[in-house]
Structure 1
Amino acid sequence: MLLNSNYFLFDMDGTLIDSTANIEQIWARWCQRHGIALERVLAVCHGIPGSSTVKLVAPELDAAAESAWLDQLEASDSTGVVAIAGAAAWLAQLPPERWAVVTSASRAVMEARLAHCGLPLPRYSICADDIEHGKPHPEPYLRGAALLGVPASACLAFEDASAGMASALAAGCTVIQVGQQAPSPAGIAGQISDWREVRWAPSAEVAA
């Protein structure tokens, strides 16, 4: 796939890095702590902030406190977390002012996971700490585009989860799905398995 956009917004988990097993193990520990069925969490947790998941499955708990507990584990335990094939080389070719990470993880977790995987820390990023409304609300991608100084419609967004794709589409981004873990929604522009399938042409060439 040849991409000719000049501005890029990247989700992190499932898009730049493979952290699914790690995330699910940490949620399993949280579920055991509270006597909650893991299946309930896994049905809703992917692509949204941890605090949003807590509110959905255990509204009686203090979402901020539980999210802080989860963040501490996620920032300190990167077992099994790896970069998705080709991600490092792909990011290395982009000017730092042309891309941002838009993630439902906290800033501490984002920095720990990217460093663990040998991926560059972005100059610009929107994390769970920065927003009032998490994915699937469009706020994360609208704010990511604003950091780049362009409207969301000028950005190509990469996402793997249903909530993230809905967020990016609602913001007005052109959306590429990474992987096949979530159903492909109407309106996405394409799909890739990993970053080895993508080439960048910062010109008027037509994407193919």
Structure 2
Amino acid sequence: MTDVGRRLDSFAAVLWDMDGTLVDTEPYWMDSELALAKRYGGTWSREQALQVVGFDLLDAARLMRPQMGIDLAPEQIVEQLLDDVVARVRREVPWRPGARELLASLRTADVPCALVTMSYTRFADPIVAALPAGTFDVVITGDTVDRGKPHPEPYLAAARGLGVPAVECLAIEDSTTGAASASAAGCTVLVAPLHVSVPSGAGRVFVDSLEGLDAASVLGAVGVL
């Protein structure tokens, strides 16, 4: 774990990434990307899919189009991927271990929480709906910001929506792209890597899993620093 030089009990809110952090939907995305490439006579690999983990969907689609070798506009790529992944999530939400328990503990402690995802609203909606009402005070999705992760705009928008400075927020992330976005916004980042490794850096605290964490251990000095 990285000593970020401050106590975590100073944080005013917790900002959550979704894919790979709250839920493990990355395998859904990867399978959908592989199916899309095959459907249009293109090629794609899991190694390539890992390179766009955490990206804004349109930015990811702009990279996919030439690499897959398919003749679809980025917007069409996004919509077709969303159709497939939303259908999968409606059948089963793949929760990450400890995520819902940590969320419940934060809500019990009256800690404001926001969801900050580059997935679009229609993908985030069924996941948010599967949680107790009021779990998130603010939801920021990729189709509600002009510039997605790794730009700081998504995290700045979430903090603004909660009415707190981003520098007083703890962000929870699993990817390099997401951690870069949160760091650029001024947040301290609790990193629980999943499918991709995340480099260490100032203001980043690393844990193996969210399992076993609660409001006291995340917002206090015990158990994290």
Give the TM-score normalised by the residue count of structure 1.
Answer: 0.86
Contact 1:50 1:70 in 2 (8 A): no
Query: What residue is the counterpart of 1:149 in the other structure?
Result: 163
Inter-CA distance 185–41: structure 2 relative to 1 (3 Å threshold)? same
Superposition map of 1:1-208 within 5 A: 3-4=8-9, 5-34=11-40, 35-39=42-46, 41-58=48-65, 61-78=72-89, 81-95=93-107, 98-115=112-129, 118=131, 122-180=136-194, 181-201=196-216, 205-206=220-221, 208=225
Q: Aligned to 1:184, what secondary structure does the other structure show?
A: coil
TM-superposed CA distance for 1:148, in Å, is 0.8
**Percent identity, aligned pairs only?**
29
CA distance in 1 between counterparts of 2:48 and 2:132 reads 28
- The aligned amino acid for 1:152 is A
- Cα deviation digits, residues 64-118 of structure 1 (max 9, x gap): 22211111111111266421112112111224771100001111111223445x5
CA distance in 2 between counterparts of 1:139 and 1:128 reads 10
- The aligned amino acid for 1:70 is L
TM-superposed CA distance for 1:41, in Å, is 3.7
Give the TM-score normalised by the residue count of structure 2.
Answer: 0.80
CA distance in 2 between counterparts of 1:176 and 1:201 reads 14
Inter-CA distance 132–89: structure 2 relative to 1 (3 Å threshold)? same
Contact 2:14 2:111 in 1 (8 A): no
- The aligned amino acid for 1:91 is L
TM-superposed CA distance for 1:179, in Å, is 2.6
CA distance in 2 between counterparts of 1:55 and 1:169 reads 25
CA distance in 1 between counterparts of 2:79 and 2:56 reads 11
Aligned length: 207
CA distance in 2 between counterparts of 1:106 and 1:205 reads 33
Contact 1:98 1:148 in 2 (8 A): yes
Q: CA RMSD in A?
A: 2.7
TM-superposed CA distance for 1:44, in Å, is 2.5
Q: Aligned to 1:58, what secondary structure does the other structure show?
A: helix
TM-superposed CA distance for 1:45, in Å, is 1.8
Contact 2:12 2:164 in 1 (8 A): no
Inter-CA distance 85–42: structure 2 relative to 1 (3 Å threshold)? same
- The aligned amino acid for 2:49 is L
Greater strand proportion: 1
- Cα deviation digits, residues 104-163 of structure 1 (max 9, x gap): 1111111223445x5665231110110111111111111111111111101000110110
Contact 1:97 1:148 in 2 (8 A): no
Gaps of 5+ in 2: 2-6
- The aligned amino acid for 1:142 is L
**Greater than 6 Å deviation, 4+ residue runs:** none
Gaps of 5+ in 1: none
CA distance in 2 between counterparts of 1:67 and 1:170 reads 26
Moved more, 92-101 or 45-54: 92-101
Contact 2:105 2:214 in 1 (8 A): no
